[in-house]
Amino acid sequence: AQSVTQLGSHVSVSEGALVLLRCNYSSSVPPYLFWYVQYPNKGLQLLLKYTSAATLVKGINGFEAEFKKSETSFHLTKPSAHMSDAAEYFCAVSDQDGANNLFFGTGTRLTVIP
């Protein structure tokens, strides 16, 4: 069985501040982990994915995430928040890449304060 838990349904940061969105996973097999961003009434956009090649994964829009097996975590960070980063963020896990179903977390809404 696979699942992810996102701690904090709502995170607020000031523009220019560090963004940290938390995700912990549970998986009985080596996981594939993903972060997505969703804007209102839009589909999901893939920010980055972890597939065991490297523990620190760099994605689009300045985001990165670090896979920590000992902590079963895959937290998303960005050094400096922009107003355009305000959106809903989802962490997801799978036992493969896109071939199989993705199990999503409950999401974290990021608000950026000017």
Q: Does the footprint of another protein cover residue 52 (CB under 8 A)?
A: no
With CB under 8 A as the contact rule, the residue among 34, 50, 67, 89 that binds another protein is: 34
- From 22-30, 42-50, 62-70, 78-86, span contacting another protein (CB under 8 A): 42-50
Q: Which residues pair with 57 in a beta bridge?
A: 65
Q: Does 101 bind another protein (CB under 8 A)?
A: yes
Residue 89 found at the interface with another protein (CB under 8 A): no
Residue 46 as a binder of another protein (CB under 8 A): the answer is yes
